[in-house]
Structure 1
Amino acid sequence: MTAAVPGGAPTLRTKLAYGFGAAAYGIKDGGFSYFLLLFYSQVIGLDARLVGLAITIALIFDAISDPIVGYWSDNLRSKWGRRHPFMYASAIPVAATYFLIWNPPAGWSQTALFWYLLGLAVLIRTAITFYETPSSALAPELATDYDQRASLLGWRYYFGWTGGSIMTVMNFAVLFPMFATAAIPNGQFNRDAYQVYGIIASVVIFTAIMVSSLGTHGRIKHLRLPPPKRDISLRTVFKEIFETLGNRSFGAVFGATMLGAVASGLSASLSFYFSAYFWGFSPEQIGLITASVFMSAVIGAVIAPMATKRIGKKRGAIVIGLLAGTILPLPIVLRLFGWLPENGDPSLFWLVLIITMIDVGLIISFQILGSAMLADLVEQAELKTGRRSEGLFFAAATFIRKSVQGLGVMAASFVLTLAQFPKGASPDQVPASSLWQLGAWYVPVILTLWLLMIAVISTYRLSRADHEENLRQLAVKAAE
C-alpha cells in the first residue's frame, strides 16, 4: 500500500530545497575528508597523528550531542514545528566555525595548534548536528512510501555529494593554480589558498542552510506534531532513546553504515596522497578526477531507486556494497604487482578516472539505500513505542556520516605512519618504498572494512512487505 502524505506528495520545489540543504554538509564533509589532514599536516606542519587524534576526540562529543539533538527535535514545541528552529539557528555558527578552521594562527606550537583544531572540530560538529539531524529527519515525514523514500533521499545525496565536489573542483581548477608561486609551485601547499577557500565555502554553507530551511518552511503545518507536554527527567530521556534504538535492524544499519563510512573516510583522506604521490597526477588531472564525482552522484541517485524497486533495499545494499568494495582497491593492487603502466602514461590516468567514477557512484548508492532503510524503521519503532522518533534515527545517521572524518582520518593517519610517509615532502621527494608500503597497508585495511560492512548489513530484517504492513497498522490505529 502507499500511505498518503499529509499535505500531498512534496512538490519538485520542495524536493530541490530539501536536497539542496545537504550541500552544506557536503561542503563541510568534503573539506574534512579531502583537505583537512593534508592542510594541517603538510601545509601547517601539525603531526598527522595529532590531526587524527583531534578529530577522533571531537567524534566522542558527537556521541553525546547527536542523540540529544535528535531527541530534542522530536519533542520540541514551537510555532515553527519540531525541526526548523534548529535549522535556522545553526546557519551562522556552522559558517563561522568552518571559516575559522581554515585560518589557524601562524607561528603557534604543535600543542597550541592541536588544541585549536580540536576546539573548532568540536564546535563545527556540534553546530552541524543542529542542522543536519533535524533536516534529515524531515525525510520520513515528506515521503512514507517504500520506493518514494529512496527517490527523495537520492535528491539529498545528489546535492550533498555535488555540493562538496564543486568546492573541491574549484580548489584544483581555480584556487590552487591561482596561488602557485615561485616558492610554492603547487598551490595545493599554499595556506593562502585555503584561507580564500574558507571564505567561499562558509558563504555557500550559510546559503544552502537558509535555502533549505525556507524552502521547506511551507510544509511545517503538514508535519507531525510533537507529543503532549509532560514531565521529562534525564532518566526518561535515556530510557526512551534506548527503547527506540534497541532494534536489531537498526543495529544492522548503524553498524554497516559506520563501517562503510569509515572505509569511505579512509579512502577520501588518502585520495590526494594517492593522486599526487602514488600516481603522480598533476593538479589539473586531480581536478578532473574530482569533477567525475558529478557523474558519480548521478549514477548513485539513479541506481539506488532502481535497486529498491527491483531487488529491495537490503539485497541492493549487499550487492552494491560488494561491487564497491571490490572495485575500490583494484588499481592499487594492479600497481603493487607491476601490472599497470608507469606514472605519466596517459592510459593510466583514464583507467583510474573511470574506475573512481564508477566506484564512487556505487558508494553513493549504498549510502542512499542505508538512509532509506533507516527511514523505514521509523514506523516500526512508532508501533512499538507509540512515539515518532525521526530525529533519534537520523541523529544516528548524522553520527555515522561524521565518523568519516573521525575514524576515517584517524585510520588514514596510521596508514601514513606505518608507510613511513615523510612529512612536508613534495611528490619527487617521497621514496618508492614509502609509496609501495602506502598501497600495501591501505588495501587490506579497506577490504576488511568493506567485508565486515556486508556481513553486518545482512542481519537487517525489514522488507517491503513488513514496511507496508507497518503503514497499514498505523493507519488503522489513526482511524480508531
Structure 2
Amino acid sequence: MTHRSASDAVAPPTDRVPARTIAGYAVGSLGTGGFGTLPGLVLVYFLTDNLGVTAIVAGLIVSLAKLWDVVIDPLIGSLSDRALARTGSRRGLMLVGALTLPVFFILTFAVPIEVGPTVGAIWVLVAFMLTATSFSLFQVPYIALPAELTTRYDERTRLLTWRVVVLTAAILLFGAGGPLLRGLSETPSQGYLLMAVVAGLVIAAGLTPASLAAPRRAERGEPQRVSLGTHYRLAILALRESQPFRALLGTFVLQGLATGTMLAAAQYVATHVLRSEDAVTLLFLALIAPALLFAPVWGRVARRTGKERGYLIASVLFAVAALAITGLVWAPGAWVYLPVALAGVAYAGMQALPLAMLPDVIAHDARASGTDRAGVFSGVWTAGETAGMALGATVLTVILSFTGYIESVGGQTVAQPASAVTGIVIAFSIVPAVLLGASILLLRRYRLRRDDIEADARPAPPADVANEGPAA
C-alpha cells in the first residue's frame, strides 16, 4: 500500500486516454482471455474423456488449482502495491507471469495417456497449479492499472470497453480455435498438445507487451515491511471498509460461477445433447460473435444511463437467455444458438461494465481513506473471480456425478443415460439463471454513481478556501 494525503489520493483529471495506451493495455486480454477460456472449456473434458479420470476428481483437480489462486491473489496484490511504491511500476510481477505461464500451460496438456488416470491426474494438478500461479502474477497487477491510467468516469468505460473487445475476440479465438486445433491430430493426446503449444504462444504474445506497457511514475519510496498475515488482513480490511466493493465483487463472483458452469458444460452439451463434438465451436461462435459486436454498444449505454444501470440490464438479459436454454431437455436442436446469441449480447455488458466500475471503486476508496491500495483491491477481485470460475467446473462435475455420467478413455464414444444428459442441460441453463438472479439482488446494493466519481476526480479546494465562511 502507498499512503497519501486525502488531497492527492486521486490524481487530477486527465484528458482522453491516448490510443496507444488503450492498445497496450487491451492486448493483455488476448492472453488473459485465452487462459480464462481454454482450460475452462476443455480441461475437465480432457481429464474425463482422454485420461479416464472420474468426473468428481476432474472437477476437484481444476477447482484446487484455481482455489490456490484465491489463496495467493491477495498476497500478490499487496506485493504489487509494494512494488509500485518501491520501483514506480507494477510491471516486474507482470513480466514474470507473462514469461512463465505459457511453459506451464503446455505442460498441463503434455501428459501421455499411458501413465494412467492416477498419475495423469497428479500431473495435471501440479502443472495447472503452476500455470494458475503465473496467471495471478500477471492478472492481479493488470487489474489494478486502470485506476492509475485515468481518473475520468467515462474514460474508464472507454478504456475497459476496448479491453473487453480484445477479451471477447480472445474468447472467440481460443474457444472456437482450440477445439479445431485439437481435432487436427488423429490421436487425442497429440491433438491436445498441439492445441496447448499454439495457445501458449498466443498467450505469451498478449501478456508480454501488456507487461511492458505498464506505466512508470516518478515518485518512489521504500514501503514498510509487513508480515505474511498482514497481507491478508489488508485484504479483509478492504472488504470491510468498502461497501461498493463488496456489492460489486459479490455480483461478479456469482456471475463468474454462472458463466464458469456454462463454459465447463459447453463441450458436454455439444457432444451429448447436440450429438456433435465439433458443435462446441458453433456454440462459441453464437455466444462470442454477438458479444464482440455489442461491447462498444454497452459503453454507449453506460454513458447514457450509468454503468450500474447498464450492468443491471445486461444481467437480466443473460438470465432470461440462460433460462430459455432449458428447452434442450425436451427438444435438442440448432434453435439453441438463438438464446446463446442473446446471452452473448448480454455477456459483453457483464464483462465491460463491472471492470469499468472497479477503478471507480478503487479511486473512491483512495479519496475517502487517503490510502492507495489498488493492488489489494485487484488481488481480492481476482481471487473472487477465480473462485467463481473454478467452482463452476465443480458445480458441473457434481451434477454429472449425481446424474450418472460415464467416463471414457482416449476419445472412446460412450452412450450416456438420459439422466446425465438432463443434468448437462441443467448445468448449462437453470443453474446459471438462478445464479444470475442472486447476483442481481447484490448489484442493487451498489451505491456509487457518476456524480460520486466525478466529485472524487476534482482536486480538493485549498484549505483556506474550504474553511472560508460567508462574508460578514
Q: TM-score, normalised by structure 1?
A: 0.86
Aligned to 1:461: 447
Deviation at 1:56, TM superposition (A): 1.9
Equivalent in the alignment of 2:402? 418
The offset of 1:4, in angstroms, is 4.9
Question: Measured at CA, do residues 72 and 395 of structure 1 come closer, stay the same or move farther in structure 2, by a change above 3 Å?
Answer: same
Q: Which moved more, 1:246-255 or 1:111-120?
A: 111-120
CA pair 175-407 structure 1, distance change in 2 beyond 3 A: closer
Q: Which residue of 1 aligns with 2:3?
A: none
Distance 2:165 2:149 in 1: 17
Which one of 268, 274, 289 corresponds to residue 273 of structure 1? 268
Q: Aligned-pair distance for 1:52?
A: 1.1
Aligned to 1:191: 189
* Aligned equivalent of 1:317, options 289, 311, 318: 311
Q: How many residues get paired?
A: 453
Q: Contact 1:75–1:82 (CA<8 Å) still a contact in 2?
A: no
Task: Say whether the 8 Å CA contact 1:418–1:441 is kept in structure 2.
Answer: no
Determine the C-alpha separation between the residues in 2 that align with 1:124 and 1:276: 28
Amino acid at match of 1:290: F
Structure 1 unaligned segments of length 5 or more: list them. Answer: 185-189
Against the structure 1 CA distance between its residues 262 and 250, is the aligned structure 2 distance closer, same or farther, given a 3 Å change threshold? same
Q: CA deviation at 1:430?
A: 2.4
User: For 2:344 and 2:317, how far apart are their aligned partners in 1?
Assistant: 11
CA 53–174 in structure 1, closer or farther in 2 if over 3 Å, else same = closer
Kindly indicate whether the alpha-carbon contact (under 8 Å) linking 2:140 and 2:382 is maintained by their aligned counterparts in 1. yes
Q: Distance in 1 between matches of 2:310 and 2:84?
A: 38
Contact 2:406 2:414 (C-alpha < 8 Å) held by counterparts: no
Give the aligned residue type for 1:274: V
Stretch deviating more after TM superposition (128-137 or 388-397): 388-397
- Deviation string for 1:71-104 (max 9, x for gaps)? 1111215886331111112222111110100111
The root-mean-square deviation of aligned C-alpha atoms, in Å, is 2.7
Match of 1:251 among 241, 246, 255: 246
When residues 195 and 174 of structure 1 are mapped into structure 2, their CA distance, relative to the original with a 3 A threshold, is closer
Deviation per residue, 1:160-207 (Å, 9 max, x gap): 23223213322344541x224xxx7xxxxx121111011111111111
**Alpha-carbon shift at residue 334 of structure 1 (Å):** 2.2
Stretch deviating more after TM superposition (78-87 or 403-412): 78-87
CA separation in 1, counterparts of 2:417 and 2:228? Answer: 56
Amino acid in structure 2 at the alignment position of 1:385: S
SS at match of 1:76: helix
**1:220 alignment partner, SS class:** coil
1:201 aligns with 199
SS at match of 2:113: coil
Match of 2:425 in 1: 439
Indicate conservation of the 8 Å contact 2:319/2:433, yes or no: yes
- Give the distance between the partners of 1:115 and 1:473, measured in 2 at CA: 55
Measured in 2, the distance between the counterparts of 1:82 and 1:212 equals 13
> Aligned pair 1:55/2:62, yes or no?
yes
Measure how far apart 1:458 and its partner are: 1.2
Q: Using a 3 Å threshold, how does the CA distance of structure 1 residues 476 and 138 change in structure 2: closer, same or farther? A: farther
TM-superposition CA deviations, 1:318-338 (whole Å, max 9, x none): 22111101112313x2233x4
Pairing of 1:126-205 with structure 2 (within 5 A): 126-176=133-183, 178-180=184-186, 190-205=188-203
C-alpha distance in 2, partners of 1:174/1:63?
Answer: 31
Superposed displacement of residue 302, structure 1: 1.8
The CA deviation at 1:447 is: 2.4
Q: Paired residue for 2:210?
A: 212
- Using a 3 Å threshold, how does the CA distance of structure 1 residues 426 and 237 change in structure 2: closer, same or farther? closer
* 1:334-363 CA-partner distances (Å, limit 9, x unpaired): 233x4x4xx5xxxx42x3223212212312
1:413, 1:258 → 2: CA distance? 19
Match of 1:187 in 2: none
- Quote the offset at 1:439 in angstroms: 2.6
Q: Does 1:334 align with 2:327?
A: yes
Query: 1:34-75 CA deviation, whole Å, 9 max, x = no partner?
Result: 100111111111112111112222233222211111111112
- Are the structure 2 counterparts of residues 295 and 474 from structure 1 closer, same or farther at C-alpha, using a change threshold of 3 Å? farther
Letter of the 1:388 partner, please give it: D
Q: 5+ unaligned residues in a row in structure 2: which ranges?
A: 1-9, 467-472
66-75 or 430-439: bigger deviation:
430-439
- The corresponding residue for 1:287 is 281
3-state DSSP class of the match of 1:124?
Answer: helix
Secondary structure (helix, strand or coil) at the match of 2:69 reads: helix
Give 2:369's aligned residue. Answer: 385
CA apart distance, 1:239: 4.3
SS in 2 for 1:460: coil
2:4 matched to which residue of 1? none
Deviation at 1:288, TM superposition (A): 3.2
Cα deviation code 1:196-220 (max 9, x no counterpart): 0111111111111112123x25x42
Residue 120 of structure 1 corresponds to which residue in structure 2?
Answer: 127
Structure 1 pair 174/77, CA: closer, same or farther in 2 (3 Å)?
closer
> How far off is 1:397 after superposition?
2.6
Q: Do 1:312 and 1:463's aligned partners in 2 also have CA atoms closer than 8 Å?
A: yes
